[in-house]
């Protein structure tokens, strides 16, 4: 997948977690803050990623980043979304692939070069936590128990 007029960067991380567990942690918005340290929550009206879903990712210091899910292929464990803060936007294509001993998760980021350069290390850290084995610190931010889902 290429993004016309934009820079691209690929991030891949391998880990021992089962691919179905990794996919479910992606697919359920309520799980995102458990493995992605920069996410405090997600404001959306849907429990799972679905094409057309919109909302905001809630970050540190009150940061709110708008998003739209562009496509989801549950069977192939792939999904694409567009995120933006003001005039800066990025498109991200995620994949979850079962490999011997665990999961390979991939991320292709398209957007302005400086934004990609700043985000890629943060994404790599989050993906490492996503594919880590249960009980290894990956399933809960900073070793805390998971936050209850807002109702």
- Does residue 149 carry a pLDDT above 50? no
- Does residue 148 carry a pLDDT above 50? no
> Among 6-10, 76-80, 119-123, 141-145, which is the least confidently predicted range?
141-145
Q: How much is the pTM?
A: 0.83
Angle in degrees, 0-180, between the axes of helices 113-130 and 19-27, rounded to the nearest 10: 130
User: φ, ψ for residue 135 (rounded to 5)?
Assistant: 85, 0
Q: What is the pLDDT of residue 28?
A: 97
Specify the 3-state DSSP secondary structure of 113: helix
More confident residue, 86 or 13: 13
Convert the pLDDT of each residue in 60-115 to its tens digit: 999 999 999 999 999 999 999 999 988 889 999 999 999 999 999 999 999 999 99
Q: What is the pLDDT of residue 3?
A: 52
Convert the pLDDT of each residue in 28-55 to its tens digit: 999 999 999 999 999 999 999 999 999 9
Q: Please provide the CATH number assigned to the domain covering 7-135.
A: 3.30.530.20
pLDDT confidence band for 6 (50 / 70 / 90): confident
Sorted by where each begins, the domain ranges of the chain are 7-135
Q: Where are the beta strands (DSSP E) in 32-142?
A: 41-44, 54-58, 64-73, 78-85, 88-99, 102-111
Q: What is the pLDDT of residue 89?
A: 93
């Amino acid at each position: 997948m290429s993004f016309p007029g934009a820079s691209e960067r690929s991030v891949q991380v391998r880990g021992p977690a089962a691919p179905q567990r990794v996919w479910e942690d992606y697919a359920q918005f309520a799980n995102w803050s458990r493995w992605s340290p920069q996410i405090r929550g997600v404001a959306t009206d849907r429990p799972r990623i679905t094409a057309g879903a919109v909302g905001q990712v809630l970050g540190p210091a009150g940061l709110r980043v708008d998003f739209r899910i562009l496509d989801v292929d549950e069977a192939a464990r792939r999904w694409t979304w567009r995120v933006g803060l003001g005039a800066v936007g990025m498109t991200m294509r995620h994949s979850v692939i079962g490999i011997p001993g665990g999961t390979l998760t991939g991320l292709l980021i398209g957007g302005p070069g400086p934004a990609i350069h700043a985000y890629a290390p943060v994404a790599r850290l989050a993906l490492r936590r996503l594919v880590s084995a249960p009980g290894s610190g990956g399933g809960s931010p900073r070793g805390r128990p998971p936050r209850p889902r807002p109702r």
